[in-house]
């Protein structure tokens, strides 16, 4: 290879540090502004052959896509491992130092790479994050209505707050002051808008999950629906990159930490080092094990008696991701086939 380079991407600029391995000359600079068109123009002037590396932080997608389009080999660096590669006393403090560190790790073949998902997976991840944000916002507005009811001494509804009977009471404003009534009406209108957006997304996920082989296989598991199936499939990715199901559990951040003298983390806690969306999907699916008809019902009840319902659901979630890992691994290339 002739050019080895590291890129540090920010909203304002892309800092680059490139080494010509034949001449030993190092070229440093900034690409301003950090846009697709400007980066594409910079790639046209880059000598070939070349290999570049960029951290897997916000903004990496268009950089990787443009590099591939230009015929430049690109690698995606794992951010946490890259930051810790040289120890805490040698952490980079500037954008230039970040780019140089990435280039050194790449040249020395010490760069810990992240998986670069195909476009289909990236698109589904974007829609899943949108759905999760809408759902969180939906929950927040429901909690606001509950707060207004409690503040005015109105009995909380038993069951669904948005059921027809309770909705009629909220619309009438029984027991609420004029201002609280106005606030509740605004909350109901907002909830209706959020529900419309989530309904469209749920239909997309349902159609995709039925047609995509990997998601269709995950739907066979009890408690896994279209949304959670697509989330597990998109965030787990290529199952063959994990040598064992234990590594898949670690990837999800569901492994239990242990005491270490150089760490402040208390033992017995979740690592939480992985995709939050994957943990959410696994936990949502695992909560269905509380139903008597669930295959894992006996195991769930056994753990619940000792540790409580949340830890029982987490234990089932670990079982679920192990099963998902084995299922997707057995499908091979078909697991990520286009829908």
Per-residue pLDDT tens for 129-150? 999 999 999 999 999 999 999 9
Which of 186, 211, 236 represents a domain boundary (last residue)? 211
Whether residues 204 and 312 fall in one domain: no
Whether residues 33 and 141 fall in one domain: no
Residue 86 lies in a domain: yes
Check residue 264 and give its pLDDT: 55
Whether residues 220 and 331 fall in one domain: yes
pLDDT at 311 > cutoff 60: yes
DSSP string, 156-187: PPSS-TTSHHHHHHHHHTTT--HHHHHHHHHH
pLDDT at 87 > cutoff 70: no
Whether residues 235 and 322 fall in one domain: yes
Using the CB atoms, write b or e for 194-208: b if 16+ within 10 Å.
beeebeebeebbbeb
Per-residue pLDDT tens for 69-83? 999 999 999 887 777
Whether residues 269 and 220 fall in one domain: yes
Average pLDDT, the chain: 90
Residue 266 lies in a domain: yes
Whether residues 157 and 190 fall in one domain: yes
Residue 303 lies in a domain: yes
Residue 188 lies in a domain: yes
Q: Give the pairing type, strands 73-77 and 50-55.
A: parallel
Give dist(CA 180, CA 161) in Å, integer: 16
pTM assigned to the model: 0.89
Least confident of 4-8, 109-113, 165-169, 324-328: 165-169
Phi, psi (rounded to 5 degrees) for 155: -60, 135
- Dihedral sign, Cα of residue 227, residue 232, residue 233, residue 237: positive
Whether residues 227 and 332 fall in one domain: yes
Residue 112 lies in a domain: no
Whether residues 203 and 294 fall in one domain: no
Coil, helix or strand at residue 88: helix
Whether residues 73 and 177 fall in one domain: no
Whether residues 332 and 219 fall in one domain: yes
* Cα separation values, 121 from 126, 229, 333, Å: 9, 13, 14
pLDDT at 188 > cutoff 90: yes
Q: What is the extent of the structural domain holding 93? A: 3-107
What one-character DSSP code corresponds to residue 152? T
Q: How many domains does the chain have?
A: 3
pLDDT at 95 > cutoff 70: yes
197 and 134 Cβ atoms separated by less than 8 Å: yes
Which of 85, 107, 129 represents a domain boundary (last residue)? 107
Residue 32 lies in a domain: yes
Per-residue pLDDT tens for 250-264? 999 888 765 555 555
Whether residues 99 and 127 fall in one domain: no
Check residue 229 and give its pLDDT: 97
Residue 114 lies in a domain: no
Check residue 34 and give its pLDDT: 94
Per-residue pLDDT tens for 103-123? 999 999 898 888 999 999 999
Check residue 153 and give its pLDDT: 93
Whether residues 48 and 124 fall in one domain: no
User: What percent of the chain lies above the pLDDT cut of 90?
Assistant: 73
Check residue 214 and give its pLDDT: 96
- Give residue 22's pLDDT band: very low, low, confident or very high (50, 70, 90): confident
Check residue 225 and give its pLDDT: 96
Which of 193, 211, 229 represents a domain boundary (last residue)? 211
CATH number, domain with residue 102: 3.30.420.40
Give dist(CA 266, CA 275) in Å, integer: 21
């Amino acid at each position: 290879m002739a050019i080895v380079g590291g890129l540090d991407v920010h909203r304002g600029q892309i800092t680059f540090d490139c080494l010509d391995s034949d001449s030993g000359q190092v070229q440093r600079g900034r690409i301003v502004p950090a846009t697709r068109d400007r980066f594409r123009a910079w790639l046209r002037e880059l000598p070939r052959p070349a290999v570049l590396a960029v951290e897997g932080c916000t903004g990496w997608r268009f950089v990787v896509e443009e590099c591939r389009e230009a015929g430049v080999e690109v690698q995606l660096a794992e951010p946490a491992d890259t930051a810790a590669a040289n120890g805490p006393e040698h952490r980079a403090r500037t954008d230039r130092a970040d780019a140089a560190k990435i280039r050194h790790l790449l040249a020395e073949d010490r760069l810990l790479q992240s998986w670069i998902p195909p476009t289909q997976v990236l698109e589904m991840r974007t829609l899943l994050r949108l759905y999760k944000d809408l759902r969180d916002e939906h929950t927040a507005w429901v909690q606001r209505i509950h707060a207004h009811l409690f503040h005015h001494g109105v009995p909380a509804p038993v069951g669904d707050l948005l059921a027809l009977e309770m909705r009629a009471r909220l619309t009438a404003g029984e027991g609420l002051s004029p201002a609280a009534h106005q606030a509740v009406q605004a909350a109901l209108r907002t909830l209706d808008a959020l529900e419309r957006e989530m309904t469209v997304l749920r239909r997309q996920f349902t159609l995709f999950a039925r047609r995509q082989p990997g998601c269709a296989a995950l739907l066979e598991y009890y408690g896994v629906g279209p949304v959670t199936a697509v989330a597990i499939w998109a965030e787990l990715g290529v199952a063959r990159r994990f040598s064992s199901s234990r590594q898949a559990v670690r990837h999800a951040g569901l492994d239990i930490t242990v005491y270490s003298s150089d760490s402040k983390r208390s033992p017995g806690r979740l690592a939480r080092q992985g995709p939050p969306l994957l943990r959410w999907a696994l936990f949502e699916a695992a909560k269905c094990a509380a139903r008597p008809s669930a295959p894992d019902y006996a195991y769930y009840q056994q753990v619940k008696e000792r540790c409580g319902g949340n830890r029982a659901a987490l234990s089932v979630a670990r079982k679920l991701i192990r099963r998902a890992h084995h299922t997707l691994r057995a499908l091979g290339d078909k697991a990520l086939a286009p829908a």
